[in-house]
Amino acid sequence: MTNAAIPRRLQCGVDSSYTLRMLTIRRCAFFLLCAVASAQCAAAERLTVGSKRFTESYVLGEILRQTAAAAGGAEVAYKPGLGNTGIVFEALKTGAIDVYPEYTGTIAREILKNDANMELGAINRALAPLGLAAGVPLGFNNSYALAMRAQQAAALGITRVSDLARHPELKFGLSQEFMARADGWAGLRQRYGLSAPDVRGLDHGLAFEALAAARIDVVDVYSTDAKIAALGLTVLEDDLAYFPKYDAVLLYRGDLPQRFPQAWARLQGLAGALPASRMIALNAAAELQHRDFADVAHEFVEGGSGKPASAQASTAAGAGAARTSLWRALFAPDFSRLALQHLGLVFGSVLLAVCLGVPLGILAARVPRLAQPVLAATGVLQTIPSLALLAFLIPVMGEIGTAPALAALFLYALLPIVRNTHTGLTEVATGLRQAGLALGLRSFACLRYIELPMASRMILAGVKTSAIINVGTATIAAFIGAGGFGERIAAGLALNDHVMLLAGAIPAAALALMVQGGFELAERTLTPNAPQRRS
């Protein structure tokens, strides 16, 4: 018996086309990864606008994008809803974006860690060493404040923040960013001596709904929130002057005016073009009339030369706008783009995880003393909160978008693949390995022709688990501009729009079911006669 004939006799009933099919999968994986990489590399020099994840920032981001694009001379990209201040500022520092709307109080307290009320000149002197600058005051001050239902505030005689100290029984629902900010809850609580034992962290959009339903009593608001008037809220006076001024400005990279002179000239025309009343009206059009952010911004920009379009026309246009039906929201024009982005994130990250996870699982199975450290290390990665990991990867990789999102999802996909590979290989009967070695197979050939085919179902089950988990986790990637159905979920949270939330959640759930079905079909097709592991 020749050595060349031995492997064929040891395939133990495995389908003869098994190796060919696995080669095909590897080729598909290679081409998909090349496509993802080329998409990253193809990005030309462009002006990239960013925004945070709340209504006003979405609207202002669209205004900046459309204003810059109208100037011509440069390609303009937009990364909406980039999480909180920390994430979007890291994106600006690393050059992943070039400009985004920010507020002077946030720059001073949260970014520069300065407790003093800083004027724009002082802010720019502090930003200069970072290669950044702030300018183009938009014309309104959007200060933080606390608000209550007007009826409850009147009944308790509460008109100022200091009055809250007399009512420790009140339930607070504060946005997570406000609770963590240097100019947020901790400092406010100390300044006013508030005890407030019941303080809950809520998404900013959901807090209004909870307040209206009387599940909480006090929320943090922005002074230009459209829902203040719509819900009949009382904004409490900051009688100890805790909050600084939050004048809306553009925070941008210092070289932006030189790199994009035409766009910069047009952006400067926005100075003073947005008084508080106009900003509230724009927020209301998006948040209360459920109009698209781009449409709201387009109406403003088309007013010409930074001057707002007719407020009467805005009201008339929005008054008859009904909430978009779920069916139309599901299959809006952005559906195919979001689906492709979501699929690319999921399968790109899983393919990367397979390339590393399977060898790690083999190593853990072949070297028992390494099994526990390998499994423990991949398990620890699962415990890191997704947003924290994304925020960490932005400065490490120097960009936002697809690359850090793929890296995060790749790390989350490792554990099921490594664990299942290790389990599948360790459950292969020892006698089969010994038989292969006795017939003259080397260790690698024994692994290839006996152990991996027998463990293939278990390995594929781990890949399936990783893919299904990553379908859901990939929605978080929208917070760093990586796209996918998370864009709709983030916008729905910002607007408290349940239809928009469902339009993002339903496709993601359907995709998870399709992925599961696809892997089960692949398991039956690729390993039809795979030998069963011993029980």
* Last residue in a domain, options 322, 347, 367: 322
More confident residue, 119 or 430: 119
Q: Is residue 532 part of a domain?
A: no
Is 330 within the bounds of a domain? Answer: no
Same-domain status, 152 and 100 = no
Contact 418, 357 (CB under 8 A): yes
Statement: residue 303 has pLDDT above 80: no
Return the closest-CA partner of residue 157 out of 231, 84, 236, 92. 236
Tens digits of residue pLDDT in 52-85? 988 999 999 999 999 999 998 889 999 998 878 8
Compare 457 and 206 and report the one with higher pLDDT: 457
Supply φ then ψ for residue 521, to 5 degrees.
Answer: -65, -45
Residue type, 195: S
Structural domain includes residue 6: no
Residue 202's pLDDT band, with cuts at 50, 70 and 90, is confident
Q: Domain boundary at 185, 206, 235, which?
A: 235
Rounded Cα distance between 532 and 409, Å, is 31
Number of domains comprising the chain: 3
User: So what's the pLDDT on residue 1?
Assistant: 41
The DSSP symbol for 235 reads: E
Does 240 fall in a domain?
A: no
DSSP type of residue 413: H
Residues 20 and 129 in one domain: no
Classify residue 535: in a domain, yes or no. Answer: no
Same domain assignment for residues 35 and 174? no
Per-residue pLDDT at 323 exceeds 90: no
CB 395 within 8 A of CB 90: yes
Share the mean pLDDT of the chain: 83
Domain assignment present for residue 153? The answer is: yes
pLDDT band at 218 (very low <50, low <70, confident <90, very high): very high
Same domain, 137 and 257: yes
Same structural domain, 365 and 427? yes
Looking up residue 316, the CATH number of its domain turns out to be 3.40.190.10
Q: Is the pLDDT of residue 152 over 90?
A: yes
* Percent of the chain residues topping a pLDDT of 70: 85
Asked if 344 and 297 sit in the same domain, the reply is no
The boundaries of the domain holding residue 51 are 47-141+246-322
CB contact at 8 A, 394 and 404: yes
126 & 255 share domain = yes
Residue 2 falls inside a structural domain: no
Q: Do 488 and 395 lie in a common domain?
A: yes
CATH (domain of 411): 1.10.3720.10
Give all strands (DSSP E) within 403-522, no chain letters: none
Is residue 56 domain-shared with residue 201, that is, in the same domain? no
- Quote the CA–CA distance of 361 and 371 in Å, as a whole number: 8
- 301 and 341 fall within a common domain: no
Note whether 160 and 104 are same-domain residues: no
- Please tell me the pTM assigned to this model: 0.71
Residues 361 and 469 in one domain: yes
CB-based contact 402:482 (threshold 8 Å): yes
Q: What pLDDT is stored for residue 175 in this prediction?
A: 87
Domain end marker among 186, 211, 235: 235
Assess contact for 84 and 73: CB atoms under 8 A: no
pLDDT in tens, 333-375: 889 999 999 999 999 999 999 999 999 999 999 898 999 999 9
DSSP classification of residue 141:
B
Domain-located, residue 1 = no
